[in-house]
Structure 1
Amino acid sequence: MLTVEALNKIYKTGDKALSDVTFTVPKGQVVGLIGPSGAGKSTLIRCINRLVEPTSGVVKLNDQNITGLSNTALRRVRRRIGMIFQEYALVERLTVMENVLSGRLGYVPFWRSFTRRFPGEDIAKAFRLLDRVGLSAHADKRADALSGGQRQRVGIARALEQDPELLLIDEPTASLDPKTSRQIMRLLVEICNESGLPAIINIHDVVLAQQFTDRIIGLQAGKIVFDGKPSELTEQVLTQIYGEEDWTAMRKGAAEDVAEENAAAAEAKRLVAAL
């Protein structure tokens, strides 16, 4: 379980990015983190694993206080936190398999990582994960030969290779088309449900957050202004978080995209059955 208590972040400029942020995420729950640009979403995710140092407050992972750890102890804890990035953060010249195995760098001796000689059980697990994310046929391809959706799947497999106790996911669909975005969100939620992994997904697409997450936290100017079920995210609440917008039209457009995708899938099945 993740526990965040009275978390604050004030930059040297005096800007307050987070203000008394408090919440918990139990095992297996997928939380969608929404809010306008500058609301503090990315800062919150990075404060949780201390890529950004919080000014005050407490972050606990399964009762271990992360905020008070030394650098050495923090490196050990970060092995338990899988991070999935918007821009994938892959090593382009390495193969898909090598990128996935980089999730074990915190566990193996330096000589193994330098020579890329990972234990057999790590390699076997990487193959299983690539199969799970639908990339088993691409293990030997270079990362720069993949599509955006495939790169994001590699990032998911790499994070899972760490054996994480928590997933932090920063804008996983920002660079993807609507269909691929839904596929990636569906995959993330399925994996969390299968493994009992808690996850926080910083996501700009409100409709995707409502469709796939268990819970939504809305940030506005560094403060939590909504914390509840996706079904409770009314137009009034969305206006409080983002300001005035035609939310009905936005949801209608998203529903039309989903309907078009479903119709295409049904037609493909019909054609296959007719062969």
Structure 2
Amino acid sequence: MLRLEKLVKTYKTGDQALKAVDLEVPSGQVLALIGPSGAGKSTLIRCINRLVEPSSGKVWLAETELTGLGQGALRRERRRMGMIFQEYALVERLTVMENVLSGRLGYVGFWRSLARRFPQKDVDEAFRLLDRVGLLHMADKRADELSGGQRQRVGICRALIQDPKLLLVDEPTASLDPKTSRQIMRLICELCEERGLAAIINIHDVALAQRFVQRVIGLRFGEIVYDGPPDGLSPDKLTEIYGEEDWEATIKKDDEAPVEAAE
């Protein structure tokens, strides 16, 4: 589904954020990117949709090489990649519904988008998505009236209304409390399963990643140092990824009680 070949990103300062990264993500798989700050996690996600231009290497989405596309073709391919941001990236003065429908801007003409005139099928889908994430009753509220968890749910709806094949998720729980973080991670994973979506989630919380995803990629200094199942993250592996520390309290225990259902 997604394939990275020898992906390199070197900034003008000479700092190399990614060092010849090879990675394949099949359809329907949800994986977590973990690693210390500066490991290259956000850079990797942004190189996939070319919000950051790779220095070399290739990115393939299905049979399309994204790194070889001009701007027009890239805009069309970005429809297939939904992005969920850490700081939500909502337009504060717009309503919840208007923010969700902004995910369809790549599909409607300039004048219709300027007038916010979307096809009825798009409006209907926005209502269905808001209902699915528990925000149907807030469709007409302004974004600046929402809590952090509610804003992130709006961001999820905005990404999904694109009808993507891949979700790129950048630290979706960084600004949320522990309970809301679990609910958001559960919601993302449930929606990916329902829709057969692949997803790459950049996340700092190791235990949260272990609890919800199918596969973990550990980055350190721009290189993959771990690629495997969540239960393979032993203290030794976490030391290899992050450095020396007492990791016993960080790792999810097999006998931990199930977490509460999403609200």
The answer to whether TM tops 0.5 is: yes
243-252 or 165-174, which moves further after superposition?
Answer: 243-252
Spell out structure 1 runs of 4+ moving beyond 3 A.
Answer: 258-262
Q: Give the corresponding residue for 2:12.
A: 12
Distance in 2 (CA, whole Å) between partners of 1:190 and 1:212 is 10
CA distance in 2, matches of 1:50, 1:170: 14
**2:83–2:159 contact (8 Å) kept in structure 1:** yes
| Counterpart for residue 111 of structure 2 | 111
Alignment map for 1:72-221 (pairs within 5 Å): 72-221=72-221
Q: Please give the per-residue CA displacement for 1:89-125, whole angstroms capped at 9, x wherever unaligned.
A: 0000000000000000000011111111100000000
Counterpart residue number, 1:222: 222
Backbone CA RMSD of aligned residues: 1.6
Deviation at 1:23, TM superposition (A): 0.9
Maintained 8 Å contact 2:171/2:203: yes
Does residue 45 of the first structure (1) align with residue 40 of the second (2)? no
Aligned amino acid, residue 35 of structure 1: G
Q: SS in structure 2 opposite 1:38?
A: coil
Cα distance in structure 2, aligned partners of 1:259 and 1:244: 28
Output the CA distance in 2 between the equivalents of 1:117 and 1:14. Answer: 46
Point out the structure with max Rg over C-alpha.
Answer: 1
Provide the secondary structure at the position in 2 that maps to 1:50. Answer: coil
**Any idea what SS the aligned residue of 2:155 has?**
helix
Over residues 51-70 of structure 1, what are the superposed CA-to-partner deviations in whole Å (9 max), with x where a residue is unaligned? 00001001010110000000
Q: 1:27 and 1:144 mapped to 2: Cα distance? A: 35
Which residue does the alignment assign to 1:35? Answer: 35
Please name the residue that 1:3 is paired with.
Answer: 3
Task: Give 5+ residue unaligned stretches, structure 1.
Answer: 266-275
1:245 match: 245
CA distance in 1, matches of 2:53, 2:250: 36
CA distance change for structure 1 residues 88 and 255 in 2, over 3 Å: closer, same or farther?
farther
- Deviation, 1:255, is 9.2
Secondary structure, aligned partner of 2:42 = helix
**Distance in 2 (alpha carbons) for counterparts of 1:42 and 1:145:** 28
* C-alpha distance 260-165 of structure 1, shift in aligned 2 (>3 A): closer
The residue aligned with 1:269 is none
Deviations 1:105-162 (A, max 9, x none): 0000111111111000000000000011110010000000000000000000000010
Q: How many angstroms apart in 2 are the aligned matches of 1:195 and 1:147?
A: 26
Q: Distance in 1 between matches of 2:257 and 2:199?
A: 28
TM-score normalised according to structure 2 size = 0.96
Deviation at 1:250, TM superposition (A): 2.8
Identity rate of aligned residues, in percent? 71
SS at match of 2:4: strand
- Secondary structure at the aligned position of 2:28 is classed as coil
User: Matched residues in 2 for 1:113 and 1:177: separation?
Assistant: 35
1:22 maps to a residue whose letter is D
Matched residue, 1:268: none
Give, in whole Å, the separation in 1 of the partners of 2:61 and 2:51: 15
1:179-238, Cα deviation, whole Å (9 max, x unpaired): 000000000000001111000000000001111000000000000000000011111000
Structure 2 unaligned blocks of 5 or more: none
Q: Secondary structure at the match of 2:250?
A: helix
1:165 CA drift (Å): 1.0
- Residue aligned with 2:107, SS: coil
For 1:59, the equivalent position in structure 2 comes to 59
Q: Provide the C-alpha distance between the structure 2 equivalents of 1:38 and 1:241, rounded to a whole number of angstroms.
A: 12
> Structure 1 89/76 Cα, relative in aligned 2: closer, same or farther at 3 Å?
same
CA contact (8 A) 2:206 2:250 kept: no
Tell me the number of residue pairs that the alignment of Structure 1 and Structure 2 aligns: 261
Q: Secondary structure at the match of 1:247?
A: coil
Distance 1:251 1:228, change over 3 A: closer
